[in-house]
Structure 1
Amino acid sequence: MKKLQQMKWNSCLAIPVVMVLAIACKKLPEKKDYLSQDASFNMKSVYEPILGRTALELTQFSADGSTYPLIFSIENARTKNGGHTNVPELFQKVKVQEWKRDYTGLETSLAEIEAKRVWVEAPFLEVRSGSGDIIFRNAPSTLIRSYPDSGYLFDIKVRNKGNERIIKDFWLRPIKEVPYEPYEFDVYTRERKTESRPRPSGGGANIVPYTIHPTGVSKMYFTKDSLFTDTLISVYFTKENATGHSLTFKFVDPRFNPIDPAKFSNTQWDKILHGFNRRQTAMGVTYDVAYPIPLTQLNTTWANSGKANVKFGYSRKGFGGERLDASFGLNFAIYEPGDWTITFYFRRDPIFNDD
């Protein structure tokens, strides 16, 4: 009798165990990801990438507590005026160079630089699927609509597991190529900026109304006025051979005669530019270079804030044997390959000889 009661008690204990197992084995409903209706981009009123170069636009997406991972894609690309949805040029693949290994600025040859880059085919417009950042790749204005055309609109879809949202009306209005900076044309109207002085003989059409006021002005020039503020040095960019890979620095006096670069004796010619195989003559200094200059937006020995920086200088003895130093420099960028020349035109004759 006692044994029979014990068996009944064990049976009673087994019932809750079975029930618990049954509940545990039952599949719970899948939880739907959360996507905030306030999740959005820090949108500009208009995106104006300059054609002829590759640029990354950090859109700074605010998820507002949405569930990651999020996936971004471009939707409904169209022209702004007329709303034509047939805009295949935005997604047509173009041939561009991309880095497969990091550029450091410490490379010692063109070959070492080029070994870090590969040619790929990719669309002009792309959104990074994991971040929402937008890539504008190097494409010509012969392919992509550019200002004064009103350009394009497109939407971006953001989604996660089970939810999605369309963020509308990104305005894309590309600007025609700007081959170098500082630039002598207004980037929108392409009207030439004014320059009141003559250009160097044979200087070509590219005239930059960009002037430099060197340090040590009164020590550098024949002038009675130490506060002389007239235009001192003008800078000119010219290019030959669209497939070249050289850059030359030239210096000319007010009569357009060449100034021997050797006169700029304080210049560290092997440290002013990430170039190679320097050739120096009385006419100028030439380097083999990789384009664009600078090669990336990284700050390196050769560049800062997206511009290469060069500096030239010399010293001489003034009256009483005082050592006088003068220097001038330029922050610049060149975005197209070629055999380029940057000419520095001195408005007045610099004094190189000791007093």
Structure 2
Amino acid sequence: MTVRKIMICLLLVAGAASCAKYVPEDKDSLDVDARFTTIDYAPTLGRNTVYDGNFNFGNTSQPVTFEMVDLKRYDGQPAPELNADVYPVKVWKSNAETYTGKETSLEEIENKRAVEYHRIFEIRKHSGQILVWSGMDVSHLVTRPDSGYKFNVKVSNSGASKYFYNLRFRPYKPRPYEPSNYNVETGMITNPAVKPTEISGMTRQKDGLAMTAADVDIFLTKKDTGSSITFRFLDSAYNALDPALFNTTDWGQLLHGFNRQQTTGYVKYDVAYPLPLVNGFPTKYTNTSGTRANVAFSYYRLGPTGLGVSAKLRFEFAIYEKGDWELVFHFKNSSPRFTNY
């Protein structure tokens, strides 16, 4: 190779090295249109709530880190109840089989859950999902109709950071069950009872008229801190009705409960809470959307023409708070007609 060719090669190499200094570094970026699509969070306390799809990433480079900052009361006062306190909550284990609704014992269900410690109000580090956890003492939280809390969120990746300001957290007071007779804003009970979802084929003992939801009051009461549910039935004079009168009820498959105890006054099950266990996951024990447990009490008798009559009382409900709960069905205007004719 001639000296001239060697010099040309050296110049080309030097030029390439020099140009490399000016090649821009490939850094992550945050899309200018990235934003929170939900800025006002108003969950009902006492229930696990996940706000999903609440952040629009646009063309933002990922992974992205979300950090909740400056969480305080709306009037600017500190909010240690949300910033400092952590509580034990039950979560489904990531390395265990998922809940199927076919578990045969409380132990099998609990083996699929673990205890973690969380703040009541959190943001997921890489998705931006906002979470509100249940199973905690929320009596010290500021709730609606108060202005609640405000907070900012820092969103960052390896190339940039951006702050989103003045997001709101304005929770509602707990309502431990649905359907609820609690006022949404005040948390006070407005009616003594709730009504059944469906009544069919039932007639009133006193006059033979068709029974409607207006004839039945349902009272939901937490009696203790265990993990059970008890069903009771009362006639119009508040006397106990034997659950066996509902003679076509499938008591063994009524709900996802265990260790059934049945007497002339009640039927009781051990259950895992909340009911239903996984919101939005339909099983044979829930409504079609999986949002509520679905129980049906039925019986068969002969009607006045000698034809068979199938009667049913159905109730869709959810209970979010662990405890020993009682559901009392009071036939307030007349007892149902269970006998033939």
Q: TM-score higher than 0.5 here?
A: yes
Q: 2:17 matched to 1:32?
A: no
Q: Is the 8 A contact 1:79 1:87 kept in 2?
A: yes
Choose from 74, 77, 85 the match for 1:80: 74
Structure 2's unaligned 5+ residue stretches are none
Deviation readout 1:20-39 (Å, 9 max, x if unpaired): 76358758431232212221
Q: Secondary structure at the match of 2:55?
A: coil
AA aligned opposite 2:335: D
> For residues 239-278 of structure 1, what are the structure 2 equivalents within 5 Å?
239-242=222-225, 244-278=226-260
* Partner residue, 2:301: 316
Q: 1:172: Cα distance to partner?
A: 0.8
* Partner residue, 2:111: 115
Q: Is the 8 A contact 1:212 1:232 kept in 2?
A: no
Change (3 A) 1:90 1:230: closer
AA aligned opposite 2:307: E
Q: 2:143 matched to 1:137?
A: no
> For residues 53-92 of structure 1, what are the structure 2 equivalents within 5 Å?
53-81=47-75, 83-84=76-77, 86-91=78-83, 92=85
Q: Is the 8 A contact 1:211 1:232 kept in 2?
A: no
Q: Is the 8 A contact 2:174 2:187 kept in 1?
A: no
Deviation readout 1:47-91 (Å, 9 max, x if unpaired): 22222333212243112222222211111112112x12x222112
d(CA) in 2 for partners of 1:163 and 1:54?
Answer: 32
Q: 1:16: Cα distance to partner?
A: 5.9
Q: Is the 8 A contact 2:199 2:213 kept in 1?
A: no
Q: 1:182: Cα distance to partner?
A: 2.0
Matched pairs, number: 332
Q: Is the 8 A contact 2:248 2:298 kept in 1?
A: yes
Q: 1:107: Cα distance to partner?
A: 1.1
Choose from 37, 48, 69 the match for 2:42: 48
d(CA) in 1 for partners of 2:100 and 2:208?
Answer: 47
> For residues 1-355 of structure 1, what are the structure 2 equivalents within 5 Å?
7-8=2-3, 11=6, 14-15=9-10, 18-19=13-14, 22=17, 28-44=23-39, 46-81=40-75, 83-84=76-77, 86-91=78-83, 92-100=85-93, 101=96, 102-138=98-134, 139-194=136-191, 207-211=192-196, 213-218=198-203, 222-223=206-207, 225-226=209-210, 231-242=214-225, 244-297=226-279, 298-304=281-287, 305-347=290-332, 348-355=334-341
Structure 1's unaligned 5+ residue stretches are 1-5, 195-206
Change (3 A) 1:53 1:234: same
AA aligned opposite 2:13: V
Q: Secondary structure at the match of 2:153?
A: strand
d(CA) in 1 for partners of 2:292 and 2:86?
Answer: 28
Change (3 A) 1:229 1:125: closer
Q: Is the 8 A contact 1:308 1:333 kept in 2?
A: yes
Deviation readout 1:126-164 (Å, 9 max, x if unpaired): 101111101112332333222343210001111122212
Q: Is the 8 A contact 2:216 2:329 kept in 1?
A: yes
Deviation readout 1:153-211 (Å, 9 max, x if unpaired): 001111122212111211112222222222222131234324xxxxxxxxxxxx32435
The percentage of aligned residue pairs carrying the same residue is: 36
Q: 1:13: Cα distance to partner?
A: 6.3
Change (3 A) 1:26 1:232: same
Residue range with higher mean Cα deviation, 303-312 or 274-283? 303-312
Q: Secondary structure at the match of 1:64?
A: coil
d(CA) in 2 for partners of 1:8 and 1:154?
Answer: 70
Q: 1:17: Cα distance to partner?
A: 5.8
d(CA) in 2 for partners of 1:80 and 1:316?
Answer: 61
Q: 1:10: Cα distance to partner?
A: 5.2
d(CA) in 1 for partners of 2:185 and 2:336?
Answer: 37
Q: Secondary structure at the match of 2:313?
A: strand
Deviation readout 1:98-119 (Å, 9 max, x if unpaired): 1113222111111111111222
d(CA) in 2 for partners of 1:98 and 1:186?
Answer: 29
Deviation readout 1:291-337 (Å, 9 max, x if unpaired): 22112212222224421111111111223431211111111112222
